[in-house]
């Protein structure tokens, strides 16, 4: 089997633009809706939404590659890179520090052209603290770069990239294509879905680094969207991809067998659209939390206010296990009897709803109040 880069039409890519006009319009509509909702928030709320979005992207883009990073360190690193005051020495995980810097840097400089120095800088950020591979350079080993699964003796090769010796030339072509196809380039691709999808596929097929290609490829895809939109895109592609990771790898593998890439663009377009819709839902949820807190804050005692504030500060699914008496007394620094009494009061007033019984009772915020 020949891979896409081995075929005579490599680098031509031949999508049918009419197929993706509707998806592009839906994405632009969702982006506009999200921006409009964001503008109804105050400056502090907007800042928190951006932090939440970037933290989600950092954690999930690493999870796709099977790497777990410290969410606490990511939050501190994101805040630091956005200019918030962060205690010195609060970040211990160099990987978290690096991915946070990469995401903020790529977002801030979204309009900047791509070149070798930009990607080398990104790569050094991404693999900060990793001493097992060379960082900030193209791969140089003579062995084939293969995407493989399966145990020893049962390996399955899903894709083989161009030889290392070909990478500098291939990346020079990639940079030319990416910079020429931006809206102000000399060969603009005006449909953001098409450009973002091809950018990710093109980069992933060259696979220019020893490690980190998937994560950088997703940053490039978001950069393409931002350039076409004219402002930093507000979504997390990685969170959507991680939810159905196998579908992502299957679609990418299929796309790397041909340069007729409509199937891949259709798949990736749906990822972008779902990511946009997820962000709109997150804004709606945050606005609902803010309204809830404003309505209830004067009705809570100091302990209840502290716990409810903590619950509301988390993401939608962070308290999936619910609040309970043990968590309550740990957060409020109070006795078990007081925690139980406070929780029962919150249930009576329908601020919390309860499930289960006895020691297994858990409580959720009732945002419908």
Using pLDDT thresholds of 50, 70 and 90, give the confidence band for residue 345: very high
Q: What dihedral do alpha carbons 10, 236, 320, 294 form, nearest 10°?
A: -170
- Check if the beta carbon of residue 358 is closer than 8 Å to that of residue 344: no
Is it true that 4-285 and 300-365 share their CATH fold?
no
Token readout for 329 is 């007394």
Total length of the chain? 369
pTM of the model: 0.88
CATH no. of 300-365: 1.10.10.10
Average pLDDT over residues 343-364: 86
User: Could you tell me which residues are beta bridge partners of residue 146?
Assistant: 160
Per-residue HEC secondary structure of 111-153 comes to CCCCCHHHHHHHHHHHCCCCCCCCCCCCCCCCCCCEEEECCCC
Give the pLDDT of residue 347.
Answer: 92
| d(C-alpha 256, C-alpha 158), whole Å | 9
Using pLDDT thresholds of 50, 70 and 90, give the confidence band for residue 317: low
Average pLDDT over residues 47-56: 92
Average pLDDT over residues 188-200: 97
Per-residue pLDDT of 218-266, as tens digits, reads 999 999 999 999 999 999 999 999 999 999 999 999 999 999 999 999 9
Give the pLDDT of residue 315.
Answer: 56
**8: helix, strand or coil:** coil
Average pLDDT over residues 151-160: 79
Question: What are the residue ranges of helices labelled H in 3-67?
Answer: 21-38, 43-64
Q: Residue 14: is its pLDDT beyond 90?
A: no
- Check if the beta carbon of residue 45 is closer than 8 Å to that of residue 286: yes
The fold of the 4-285 domain, in CATH, is Fic-like fold (1.10.3290)
| d(C-alpha 206, C-alpha 208), whole Å | 5
Using pLDDT thresholds of 50, 70 and 90, give the confidence band for residue 163: very high
Domains of the chain, by residue range, sit at: 4-285, 300-365
């Amino acid at each position: 089997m020949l891979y896409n880069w081995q075929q005579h039409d490599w680098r031509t890519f031949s999508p049918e633009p009419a197929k993706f006009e509707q998806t592009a319009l839906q994405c632009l509509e969702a982006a506009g809706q999200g921006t409009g909702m964001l503008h109804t928030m105050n400056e502090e709320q907007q800042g928190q939404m951006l932090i939440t979005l970037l933290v989600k992207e950092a954690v999930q883009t690493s999870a796709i590659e099977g790497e777990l990073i410290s969410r606490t360190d990511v939050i501190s690193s994101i805040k630091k890179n956005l200019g918030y005051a962060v205690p010195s020495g609060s970040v211990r995980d160099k990987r978290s520090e690096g991915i946070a810097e990469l995401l903020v840097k790529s977002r801030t400089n979204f309009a900047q052209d791509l070149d070798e120095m930009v990607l080398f800088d990104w790569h050094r950020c991404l693999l900060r603290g990793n001493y097992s591979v060379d960082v900030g350079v193209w791969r140089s080993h003579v062995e084939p770069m293969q995407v493989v699964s399966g145990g020893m003796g049962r390996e399955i090769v899903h894709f083989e990239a161009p030889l290392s010796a070909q990478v500098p030339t291939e990346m020079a072509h990639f940079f030319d294509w990416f910079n020429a196809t931006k809206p102000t380039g000399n060969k603009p691709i005006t449909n953001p879905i098409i450009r973002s999808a091809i950018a990710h596929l093109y980069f992933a097929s060259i696979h220019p680094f020893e490690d980190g290609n998937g994560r950088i490829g997703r940053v490039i895809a978001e950069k393409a969207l931002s350039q076409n939109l004219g402002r930093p895109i507000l979504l997390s592609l990685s969170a959507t991809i991680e939810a159905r990771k196998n579908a992502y790898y299957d679609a990418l593998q299929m796309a790397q067998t041909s340069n007729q890439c409509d199937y891949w663009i259709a798949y990736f377009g749906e990822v972008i659209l779902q990511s946009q819709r997820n962000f709109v839902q997150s804004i709606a949820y945050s606005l609902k939390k803010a309204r809830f807190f404003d309505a209830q804050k004067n009705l809570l005692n100091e302990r209840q206010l502290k716990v409810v504030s903590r619950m509301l500060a988390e993401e939608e699914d962070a308290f999936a296990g619910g609040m309970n008496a043990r968590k309550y007394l740990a957060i409020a620094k109070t006795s078990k009897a007081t925690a139980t009494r406070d929780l029962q009061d919150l249930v009576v007033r329908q601020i919390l709803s309860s499930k289960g019984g006895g020691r297994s009772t858990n409580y959720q915020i009732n945002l419908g109040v």
